[in-house]
Amino acid sequence: MIRVMVVDDHPIVLSGLSALVRSDDALDLVAAARTVTEALAVATEPAVALLDLNLPDGDGITLGATLKQRWPALRVVVFTMHADEQFVVRSLGAGLDGYLLKDSDPDDVLAAIHAAARGSMVIGRGAQAAVVAAASAAPAPGPGALAALNSRDLEILELLASGLSTSQVAARLFLAPKTIRNRVSEMLTKLDVATREEAIAQFRGLRWGS
């Protein structure tokens, strides 16, 4: 069973999302919270958390980062009505694992939960354009950027660029998913970018001139 936490300050949305999670026999709703305070009081570790962006006592991005510090294996997906590029980039830059819009079909929401639990990055249809725009707007890397990456960095980036998830890359290289996530974070610093998507875009440009 995949343990799921949902956080949203709108009662109707929270109720509907909770009911959707309960409708899937493979999912176990372990917490439904309306505020940051309520979410931080949850004692049962979830596998996946769906967090609203705007909460009465904080925001979902900061909450997600805090929860991931407490539970490193937790997968956090922002679930919001906002498709703004700045929010998508902030979420991914904070190390969260996905961005899903509230106008998504119920089946897509359930599929996103399962995909996140498997270690995949989840970007909903409405948010994909923001990721592409952010990557396109990133400054062109200089010739020395690639030199900052070692052979293992390049191997990981090449696998990610081919479409593999973090878990799939970890399995291919016989490493723990946490190790891959840590290496990716280090690469973001080396390449001076905020998200994995930007790093992949720079890698493709440097390696293949695309």
Q: Could you tell me the CATH number of the domain that includes residue 101?
A: 3.40.50.2300
Question: What span, in angstroms and rounded, lies between the C-alpha atoms of 140 and 206?
Answer: 9
Grade residue 163 by pLDDT with cuts at 50, 70 and 90.
confident
Judge if 177 and 77 occupy the same domain.
Answer: no
How many domains, in total, are found in the chain? 2
The pairing of strands 27-33 and 48-51 is: unpaired
The answer on pLDDT for 146 being more than 70 is no
Sign of CA dihedral 100, 117, 76, 175: negative
pLDDT confidence of 38, banded at 50, 70, 90? very high
Report in angstroms the alpha-carbon separations of 69 from 28, 53, 63, 123, 186: 22, 18, 10, 22, 17
Domain end marker among 93, 115, 135: 135
Residue 204's pLDDT band (cuts 50, 70, 90): low
Q: Would you place residue 40 in the very low, low, confident or very high pLDDT band (cuts 50, 70, 90)?
A: very high
CATH of the domain at 163: 1.10.10.10
Mean pLDDT to the nearest integer, 154-182? 85
In a shared domain, residues 86 and 178: no
Domain that holds residue 201: 138-208
Average pLDDT, the chain: 84
100 and 12 co-located in one domain: yes
